[in-house]
Amino acid sequence: MAGTFGFLSTHPPTHCGLATFNSSLATHLTAGGAAGGVVRVTAGGDDDQAARTGRLGPSDLDVVHTWSARSPAGWWDAAAALNNFDVAIVQHEYGIYPGPDGADVLPLLRQLAVPSIVVLHTVLAQPTVAQKEVLEQIVAAASAVVTMTDTARDRLLVAYAVDAAKVTVIPHGTADHASAPTEPHERPHLLTWGLLGPGKGIEWALRAVARLRDLKPTPSYTIAGRTHPKVLEHEGEAYREGLHRLGGLLGISNTVQYQPVYRDVDALGRLIRSADVVVLPYDSREQVTSGALVESVAAGVPVIATPFPHAVELLTDGPGLLVPHQDPAALAAAIRRILCEPGLAASLASRTRQLTPTLLWPAVAARYAALARQVAAAAPPAVAAASA
């Protein structure tokens, strides 16, 4: 039986979706008293400084080891730290681990003496040869892998040479935002939230908002979230500054509010619940997992999204509307429908009632715990003995 959990991932105070996901999963998997610890992956800079000084923020007691991208063969010590637990849960995204396409995670997985569950946050439809090879070897080395959508599982089984028996679908978890307090507002409120950077498609949303100035009252639009740390490192605030310039050219600067902050769970719930419509105008046609999508759906707020794979799976005949990529006219028309068509917003929101319980973190963590018990029971005797 799996009694203790080791988690390998980026982790707070790093501000990225992977770190937030790992923190939430770790918190809920150990909520019943199970022991756990985080092996935190850092990319350098402020994260390394925090690791050296011990100032890791609110999650510092959970961090048992830090794997810095600057440490040659750092995977060895990271694997040793994970081997102190019964099951290792590894978050995977291209670019967070050292080596070409994050390949240094492979020797770590092979060095583990305990069963491992690898959570795949990205499954590319058209990977490079190297990306395909890395992911196939990850699946081969892992005891089990998790995708968060059926789309990702199907893509993995069709495009990659992997063992289908290893693949389990467990949805992305979310906090229960449906009961978050809401404040009355005089104007319809549109919201896009999440880490900011090219590919988020916010320029198309701005153009859509400019087409809604005839509505009385005119909707307000909040763009909430810091710039993604990797974007900030390489490009600074160029994308955000470009959005400010575009808003000025469109004449909607007074309609748009930028909130470059990273919110805790309660503040995020209040923000989402303040919206009449959440707008996710992503350019990506690859995104098989979106935390912002899941959290917004669970909050009971209608969502308008472009047809990235996770949105197609979750919103088709569900709690939102899909619009074509890079089409501000279609986006504006969908927003207008939800704001103006009697009963539509309530109808969309009502479609979350049966879906939401399966997405809440306690239910999601329970499924990870069950999978951990399964891989622990199926582990070869030598591995089972090492994790005992």
Q: Is the pLDDT of residue 309 over 60?
A: yes
Decide: pTM greater than 0.85. Answer: yes
pLDDT band per the 50, 70, 90 thresholds, residue 3: confident
CB atoms within 10 A of CB 109: 23
pLDDT digits (tens, 9 = 90+) for 247-278: 999 999 999 999 998 888 888 999 999 999 99
Asked whether residue 160 falls in the same domain as residue 200, the answer is: no
Lowest-pLDDT range, 72-76, 87-91, 141-145, 216-220?
A: 72-76
53 and 149 share one domain: yes
Nearest to 333 by CA among 277, 284, 294, 385: 277
User: At 13, is the pLDDT very low, low, confident or very high (cuts 50, 70, 90)?
Assistant: confident
Q: Which two tokens stand for residue 128?
A: 């490079």
Same domain, yes or no: 15 and 140? yes
Place of tokens 């100035």: 213
Tell me how far CA of residue 52 lies from CA of 46, 56, 65, in angstroms. Answer: 10, 9, 11
CB neighbour list of residue 50: distance below 8 Å, 6 or more residues apart: 13, 42, 56, 57
**Same domain, yes or no, for 249 and 326?**
yes
| CATH label of the domain that carries residue 94 | 3.40.50.2000
Is pLDDT above 60 for 387? Answer: no
Looking at residue 61, its pLDDT comes to 44
- What are the start-end ranges of the E strands in the chain? 4-9, 35-42, 63-68, 87-92, 116-120, 144-147, 167-169, 189-193, 220-224, 256-259, 277-280, 303-305, 320-322
What pLDDT, on a 0 to 100 scale, did the predictor assign at position 116?
98
What mean pLDDT comes out for the span 307-333? 95
Query: What's the confidence (pLDDT) of residue 121?
Result: 94
292 pLDDT higher than 90: yes
Question: Same structural domain for residues 266 and 327?
Answer: yes
Q: Distance between CA atoms of 191 and 352, rounded to whole angstroms?
A: 18
Mean pLDDT (the chain, rounded): 90
Whether 117 is in a domain gets the answer yes
SS3 content of the chain, % helix, strand, coil (to 5): 45, 15, 40
What span, in angstroms and rounded, lies between the C-alpha atoms of 195 and 187? 25
Indicate whether 355 pLDDT > 60.
Answer: yes
Residue 55 has pLDDT above 50, yes or no: no
Q: Cis peptide leading into 217, omega within 30 of 0? A: yes
Q: C-alpha angle with apex 308: 304 to 313, nearest 5 degrees?
A: 80
Average pLDDT over residues 231-241: 91
Return phi, psi of residue 159, to 5°.
-95, -10
**Residue 259 phi, psi dihedral angles, 5° rounding:** -125, 85
User: If you average pLDDT over residues 10-39, what whole number do you get?
Assistant: 89
In this structure, is residue 179 part of a structural domain?
Answer: no
Asked if the structure places residue 258 within a domain, the reply is yes
Q: State yes or no: pLDDT of 50 exceeds 70.
A: no
Cα 336 from Cα 60, distance rounded (Å): 46
On whether both 382 and 313 belong to a single domain, the answer is no
Q: Identify the pLDDT of residue 2.
A: 62
For residues 370 and 386, what is the distance between their CA atoms, to the nearest angstrom?
A: 20
From the list 309, 214, 319, 225, the residue with the least C-alpha distance to 277 is 319
Examine the domain organization and report whether 210 and 104 are in the same domain: no
The order of strands in the sheet holding 303-305 is: 256-259, 220-224, 189-193, 277-280, 303-305, 320-322
Sorting pLDDT into bands at 50, 70 and 90, what band is 383?
A: low
Q: Are residues 142 and 107 in the same domain?
A: yes
- 243 inside domain: yes
Confidence grade of residue 340 (pLDDT, cut at 50, 70, 90): very high
Q: Which DSSP string corresponds to 266-319?
A: HHHHHHHHT-SEEEE----S-----HHHHHHHHTT--EEE---HHHHHHHTTTT
Instruction: Please report whether residue 370 resides in a domain.
Output: yes
pLDDT level of residue 40 (50, 70, 90 thresholds) = very high
Neighbours of 341 (CB within 10 A): 10
Residue 354 sits in the same domain as residue 365:
no
- pLDDT above 70: residue 52: no
Of 42-56, 136-150, 236-250, least confident by mean pLDDT is: 42-56
- The count of domains in the chain is 2
Residue 184 inside a domain? The answer is no
How far apart, in whole angstroms, are the C-alpha atoms of residue 365 and residue 363?
A: 6
Between residues 128 and 95, the one the model is more confident about = 128
Examine the domain organization and report whether 202 and 324 are in the same domain: yes
Kindly state whether residue 310 falls inside one of the protein's structural domains: yes
Residue 353 and residue 269 share a domain: yes
pLDDT band at 44 (very low <50, low <70, confident <90, very high): low
CA torsion sign, 107 to 108 to 109 to 113? positive
Which residue segment(s) compose the domain that 29 sits in? 4-173+360-386
Per-residue pLDDT, 172? 94
For the segment 233-252, the average pLDDT, to the nearest whole number, is 94
Question: Beta-carbon neighbour count of residue 99 at 10 Å?
Answer: 13
Are residues 335 and 221 both part of a single domain?
A: yes
Top-confidence residue, 51 or 70:
70
182 within domain boundaries: no
